[in-house]
Amino acid sequence: MNNLLETPIEYLKGVGPQRGELFRKELNVHKYADLINLFPNRYIDKTNYFKINQLQNTNSEFQIIGKIINIKTVEAGKGKSRLVATFIDDTGQMELVWFRGQKWIRESLKINEVYVIFGKVSQFGGTFNMAHPEMELLTEHKANIRSAMQPVYPSTEKLNNKGITNKVVNKLMQQLFIETHALFSETLPDYLLENLKLIPKKEALLNIHFPKSQDLLAKAQFRLKFEELFFIQLQLITKNLIRKHKIKGHPFETVGDNFNNFYQNHLPFELTNAQKRVLKEIRNDMGSNAQMNRLLQGDVGSGKTIVALMCMLMAKDNGFQSCLMAPTEILANQHFIGLTELAKDLNINIQILTGSSKTKERKLIHEALENGTLDILIGTHALLEDKVKFQNLGLAIIDEQHRFGVEQRSKLWKKNDIPPHVLVMTATPIPRTLAMSLYGDLDISVIDELPPGRKPIQTVHRFDSNRLKVWKFIKDEIAKGRQIYIVYPLIQESEKMDYKDLMDGYESISRDFPLPDYSISILHGQMKPADKDEEMQRFAAGKTNIMVATTVIEVGVNVPNASVMIIESAERFGLSQLHQLRGRVGRGAEQSYCILMTSHKLSEDSKVRMETMVRTNDGFEIAEVDLKLRGPGDLMGKQQSGVLNLQIADLVKDRDILQLARHEAVKLLKTDAPMEKPEHKKLREVFIEMSKKKNIWNYIS
């Protein structure tokens, strides 16, 4: 049967060569199987009349009979408003909402008359609402003729122009079911279907394309989403298991003098419970015979550096060298300064290698690496050069890994016969749902508490009209001896405009904060690296009170005396960027502040971003909101924007199904990793077929 699904799409009755070409280009549909997996975006259901207590949040349209009992206008700020009507039937109530044409609609609505309404339903805070519903009085409705529940398929302008409408796709789908006799083979083992009450594959495909009822549609969606996420998790976890069995690591069997001496005598502060837990996880990994491959997530300032040092001390105790690779020289230098300070009373040789290192220094570093007298090497991409040879590299730590490509990392592995243990660190919190998919083959550790004594940063949102008060606040803080950041947005496409914004801002700040009482630094992308460093050093040394900058300061700048971060045009920044910028203050013992300045004109998304920043300092919570607002593609940046081209599941909305799929995949692989049991025969075939398709490996390192 499956061979039939491999038939090129043009052979389906009603397609032919020209339409076939369009299907390939526009929808990536090459053969019968691709068409079967072209799932509808939504459904139009005019077969049933729903009661309000039967509504479900399935992104579908519903038809309901009831009446309006009141109408009100709700102001939404900035001259915007919406018309809201309370609609009831005998089981409950919901809201109807209009954003446009309010005057006319208000005049035409009849209170307490029976209406039939139709439209897409969404749920906010437990209440269902319908925006711009189709409405007719029940008396008129009874006189009209209606059709059944129709799927609406993804489409493009080109397809519509060429006459391939939704109706045509619908007809072709029916033809496909006739030609294949709907003989779709099951892909999941029987016990899974029973335990999770999943409907069979054949029934799921039939009801996703031609749903008999909302209930069967919900079951079909659940079954197909689960299957898609389950196979992805099987692939990721299998990859992890293979690596643990096949890729041998150096077992670090001893926790020796360097580690113990530092832990007992030189810790600058008591470790948090989260740091202790993470160290234990890493110790277990490095103590086994397998290569460690762990992702360490921790918010800005959560103390990842000290954990990194303790791991490197473990490597030294076992006779191995370590390296730490950072994406920029500023960050590499900062790690170097931080680690040297922490290890100053230990007998450890730490060096730094970057593009700016002098030839003489390089030569000494290369020699010390090869003869084993150099314990820890910190650096940028310069570490990857062929000339850099270690005597025995046992641990590689990579900071902000999303900035390094896969092939760059693999160069580090080749520095040794046995690959080093790998610890990837990031201060960009990745929501759990995304981490389970993107980094499903890495083990994940999270430092989720800040060191004691850190005061949470107070964040406020102010409109441009409050600027005078904000300036007065800055003057008071400077009078207490504090320093201030003022950051302007940087959008690549309009550098001239941004530069102008920055210079205009700089000029007006210079007028409001004149010499000799105040002195101001400026930092932007068009400056030479040496000038940037000099301005940064002046600010760090306290020679200037205010740093006016574009976003070049977001990564790794550490000035403990800076206590106020002002973000201009904050509505032009993404949430994770706002959070990273805020993390530049709050590094000393003083109370720090972040002030988000915006105009009065804010989109709904911008309002949510400002409200989230004011409400919470928790990077993971912020990342979850960011994921909901932007979707998974944007979150990982350009190079991973093809993240999971899922056919039906959605990482944000279906996180519960994803967790279930991962749980079941782990359970199955624990009992039968090679999938050789008779009940897994079918599963194994599908798994091998899927592994041939490169669709999943491209975005997983």
Tell me what pLDDT residue 640 has.
36
Tell me what pLDDT residue 557 has.
61
Confidence of residue 638 (pLDDT cuts 50, 70, 90): very low
Report yes or no: 513 and 574 within 8 Å, Cβ to Cβ.
no
Task: Please compute the mean of the pLDDT values over residues 346-351 and round it to a whole number.
Answer: 95
Task: Please compute the mean of the pLDDT values over residues 333-340 and round it to a whole number.
Answer: 89
Choice between 145 and 557, residue whose per-residue pLDDT is larger: 557
Report in angstroms the alpha-carbon separations of 271 from 49, 262, 302, 692: 60, 12, 10, 46
Structure tokens at 150: 């129709």
% pLDDT > 90, the chain = 53
Task: Please compute the mean of the pLDDT values over residues 125-143 and round it to a whole number.
Answer: 87
Peptide bond connecting 516 to the previous residue in cis, omega within 30 degrees of 0: yes
597: pLDDT strictly greater than 90:
yes
What is the chain's mean pLDDT, rounded? 86
Choice between 671 and 414, residue whose per-residue pLDDT is larger: 671
Choice between 239 and 209, residue whose per-residue pLDDT is larger: 209
Tell me what pLDDT residue 371 has.
94
642: pLDDT strictly greater than 50:
no
Q: CA–CA separation, 213 vs 170, rounded Å?
A: 17
Strand, coil or helix: 27: helix
Task: Please compute the mean of the pLDDT values over residues 28-46 and round it to a whole number.
Answer: 90
Neighbours of 388 (CB within 10 A): 21
Tell me what pLDDT residue 409 has.
63
Q: What is the pLDDT of residues 481-492, one digit of tens each?
A: 999 999 998 755
Confidence of residue 631 (pLDDT cuts 50, 70, 90): low
Q: CA–CA separation, 424 vs 411, rounded Å?
A: 15
Q: What is the pLDDT of residues 565-580, one digit of tens each?
A: 999 999 998 888 899 8
% pLDDT > 70, the chain = 91
26: pLDDT strictly greater than 80:
yes
Inter-residue long-range contacts of 603-611, CB under 8 Å, 24+ positions, other chains counted = 603/571, 605/629, 606/571, 609/570, 609/571, 609/573, 609/574, 609/575, 609/578, 610/461, 610/570, 610/571, 611/461
- The structure's pTM equals 0.65
Task: Please compute the mean of the pLDDT values over residues 246-260 and round it to a whole number.
Answer: 88
CATH superfamily for 257-447 is: P-loop containing nucleotide triphosphate hydrolases (3.40.50.300)
Q: Where are the domains of the chain?
A: 46-147, 257-447, 458-616
Q: Which of the listed CATH numbers 1.20.1070.10, 3.30.43.10, 2.40.50.140, 3.40.50.2300 matches domain 46-147? A: 2.40.50.140
Q: What is the pLDDT of residues 509-537, one digit of tens each?
A: 999 999 999 999 988 877 887 788 788 88
What CATH number belongs to 458-616?
A: 3.40.50.300
Strand, coil or helix: 496: helix
Matching CATH topology for 257-447 and 458-616?
yes
635: pLDDT strictly greater than 80:
no
H or E, element range at 471:
helix 467-479
397: pLDDT strictly greater than 80:
yes
405: pLDDT strictly greater than 70:
no
29-43, 228-242, 293-307, 323-337: range with highest mean pLDDT:
29-43
Strand, coil or helix: 185: coil
Task: Please compute the mean of the pLDDT values over residues 167-191 and round it to a whole number.
Answer: 90
